[in-house]
A and B are shown apart, each in its own frame.
Chain A
Amino acid sequence: MAAKAFWPVAIALILAAIGLTQLLANEYYFFAAYVVLQFVVLATAWNILGGYTGYVNFGSAAFFAVGAYCSVALIKAFDAPLPVLILAAGAVSGLIGLATGYLTLRLKGVYFAIATLALAIVLETFITNWDFVGGASGTFVLRPKEVWLFDSYIKFLFAVMMVLAVAAVGIARSIERSKLGRGLAAIRDDEVAAECMGVPTLRLKLLATTISGTLMGVAGAPYPYYVTYLDPLSAFNLSYAVNAIAMPMIGGTMTWLGPVVGALLLGTAQQVATVTISSELNLLIVGVMLVGFVILAPEGIVGLVRKTIRRGRRR
């Protein structure tokens, strides 16, 4: 995409999404599209640490769930409005991202992945034992009865998630093209060489875990209103972690476009399969596609398309 076209297209997408909510009556489409957009945010957030920096986070579900439970706590305590929930969830998840970074970034490769998975289990245990937010049995969350401009709350949430998705992708894209992005790429390629070339590797890695954690928490913030009943098992579900990894891998981890393509493709496929075949089939689809892509197109769809274009030009 041409550099200047990004933001006009992004704003057009948001306006189109709001327009659709006024035209289309069937709530189901927005109910399904919300999940797809939520995965756009999660996959994009994962890719900032996993794709740009080269650190595989297996604990995405934990950051997402922390965002969701942060909302639950604020709704129960203050009946806080949605924008406040989103900001607070982002802040808390970002702080946890920073702390995780401090504790684990001396680990590399598979050890880092295991540490993030362990973090997810620790946080899940904590939430399961916190009665104020419902503990193990979960909790009901009542949606506000009315919302300005929208005739249903699901449509409103869909529009909100559209804004969040566009914002997340915009942030990832700016990082990719910045000095920060080039520093992160240097870390991914060779951390020792990066440090010796003047890149403050620890600081940049902490920035990456913080930004990534923040965006994941933001994705989880509206979730309690979406499901209206939240329990630790579903909020910390491993499928979030698996999807957050699989989507960028399938789309391509080197650019902001990869996670978007992967999330749209895989997210939509799962939504369609849930309705047409079975709701248990989701992870199977993810698994099969992931294996296929890792073998056939290790650089993802975006990498594959680029390679094809380059080959075409040479002829």
Chain B
Amino acid sequence: MNPPLLQIQDMTKRFGGFTALDQVTIEIARGARFGLIGPNGSGKTTLINCVSGVLAPDGGTIRFDGTDITTLKAHRRTRLGIARGFQIPKPFASMTVRENLAVPLEYAAGARIGPGIEDEVGEILAMVGLEEKAEANAAGLTQIEMRKLELARALAAKPVLLISDEAMAGLSSTEVDDILAILLILNERGITVIMIEHIMRAVMRFSERIAVLDAGRKIAEGTPEEILRDAGVERAYLGE
């Protein structure tokens, strides 16, 4: 059997005296739809920052496609195929939407500027529903458009593993459905997706497996049904 696409082993991260991640171990199979949930401050984004290379972990290893990437720089990981969106959108504010996508296309996907890249940009923008905004300045987008841009930019990196960090926060329920549909299409095309989300309806519907973090520890992992029945998860969310 093939090794899992992503193996996070005993991941530990401390900020001063605060332990944000405490020996978290998660394996994600190739082609999976994986949900990551947990109360605010439970370490979801810290874990993603360690996986994408924004933060250096204090302990543990990360293997991607069988190779150890624990000490690899973020841009090298993106080139290998790990792309992420940010919880708080970080658009390249001085550029147009089109130029925002050109950066990962050129630097991560390795495409050269030319007719090819224009087609790619058009296709990705059409997919997330931003084609009308291609020439708009990224700084002038609405919150919702910025979230779509965040997703589009991650797609432009041509990911093998897409990490969506609260891509749906603040969206209306039809917009949530739109984004879910996009992620499902991507998954059908073979992209492994990790979804961090507070909107339970979305995570439960989307994920095949879910891991739950609480105070930096993984307290449960299983199918959505198993997670819903788990007493520990209920305690973490609702208290005793």
- CB within 8 Å of B: which residues of A? 179, 182-183, 185-186, 188-190, 192-202, 254
- Whether the pair B95, A201 counts as a contact (CB closer than 8 A) is no
Q: Which residue of B lies closest to A54 (CB)?
A: B94
Does B54 have its Cβ within 8 Å of any Cβ on chain A? yes
A199→B107 CA distance, assembly (Å)? 6
Q: Which residue of A lies closest to B112 (CB)?
A: A179
- Whether the pair A186, B103 counts as a contact (CB closer than 8 A) is yes
A194→B102 CA distance, assembly (Å)? 12
Does B113 have its Cβ within 8 Å of any Cβ on chain A? yes
Q: Which residue of A lies closest to B107 (CB)?
A: A198
A188→B94 CA distance, assembly (Å)? 9
Most buried by A among B54, B73, B92, B113: B92
A294→B54 CA distance, assembly (Å)? 34
- Whether the pair B107, A183 counts as a contact (CB closer than 8 A) is yes
Q: Of B90, B103, B156, which is within 8 A of A182 by CB?
A: B103
Chain B residues within 8 Å of A182, by CB: 95, 99, 102-103, 106
- Min CB gap B200→A, angstroms: 27
Does B93 have its Cβ within 8 Å of any Cβ on chain A? yes
For B, the interface residue count at a CB cutoff of 8 angstroms equals 29
A198→B156 CA distance, assembly (Å)? 11
- Whether the pair B106, A196 counts as a contact (CB closer than 8 A) is no
- Whether the pair B78, A192 counts as a contact (CB closer than 8 A) is no
Q: Of B75, B93, B102, B113, which is within 8 A of A196 by CB?
A: B75
Q: Which residue of B lies closest to A202 (CB)?
A: B73
A193→B157 CA distance, assembly (Å)? 12
A199→B106 CA distance, assembly (Å)? 9
For chain B residues 72-118, which have a beta carbon within 8 Å of chain A? 73-75, 78-79, 83-84, 86, 90-95, 99, 102-104, 106-109, 113
Chain A residues within 8 Å of B86, by CB: 192-193, 196
Chain A residues within 8 Å of B103, by CB: 182-183, 186, 194, 197-199
A199→B157 CA distance, assembly (Å)? 11
Most buried by A among B84, B91, B107, B109: B107
Does B33 have its Cβ within 8 Å of any Cβ on chain A? no
In the A-B complex, list the 7 residue pairs whose CB atoms are closest, starting with the nearest. A198-B108, A198-B107, A193-B90, A189-B92, A197-B104, A198-B78, A195-B74
Known contacts A197-B103, A254-B94; 16 additional CB pairs below 8 A are: A182-B99, A182-B106, A183-B106, A186-B103, A188-B94, A189-B92, A189-B94, A190-B90, A190-B93, A193-B91, A194-B103, A195-B54, A195-B74, A195-B75, A198-B75, A198-B78
- Min CB gap B148→A, angstroms: 15
Chain A residues within 8 Å of B53, by CB: 195-196
Chain A residues within 8 Å of B54, by CB: 192, 195-196
For chain B residues 37-80, which have a beta carbon within 8 Å of chain A? 52-54, 73-75, 78-79
Does B147 have its Cβ within 8 Å of any Cβ on chain A? no
A185→B103 CA distance, assembly (Å)? 10
Q: Which residue of A lies closest to B99 (CB)?
A: A182
Does B153 have its Cβ within 8 Å of any Cβ on chain A? yes
- Min CB gap B76→A, angstroms: 8
- Whether the pair A179, B113 counts as a contact (CB closer than 8 A) is yes
- Whether the pair B75, A199 counts as a contact (CB closer than 8 A) is yes
- Min CB gap B94→A, angstroms: 5
Q: Which residue of B lies closest to A183 (CB)?
A: B107
A190→B104 CA distance, assembly (Å)? 13
Q: Which residue of B lies closest to A179 (CB)?
A: B106
Chain A residues within 8 Å of B99, by CB: 182
For chain B residues 179-207, which have a beta carbon within 8 Å of chain A? none
Chain A residues within 8 Å of B95, by CB: 182, 185-186, 189
- Whether the pair B108, A197 counts as a contact (CB closer than 8 A) is yes
- Whether the pair A185, B106 counts as a contact (CB closer than 8 A) is no
Given contacts A192-B54, A198-B107, contact A185 B75 (CB under 8 A): no
25 cross-chain CB contacts under 8 A: A179-B107, A179-B113, A183-B107, A185-B94, A186-B103, A189-B91, A189-B92, A189-B94, A192-B54, A192-B90, A195-B53, A195-B73, A196-B74, A196-B78, A196-B84, A196-B86, A197-B75, A197-B107, A197-B153, A197-B156, A198-B79, A198-B157, A199-B103, A202-B73, A254-B94
Given contacts A196-B84, A197-B103, contact A190 B78 (CB under 8 A): no
Q: Which residue of A lies closest to B85 (CB)?
A: A196
A185→B104 CA distance, assembly (Å)? 13
Chain B residues within 8 Å of A185, by CB: 92, 94-95
A183→B102 CA distance, assembly (Å)? 10
A116→B27 CA distance, assembly (Å)? 46
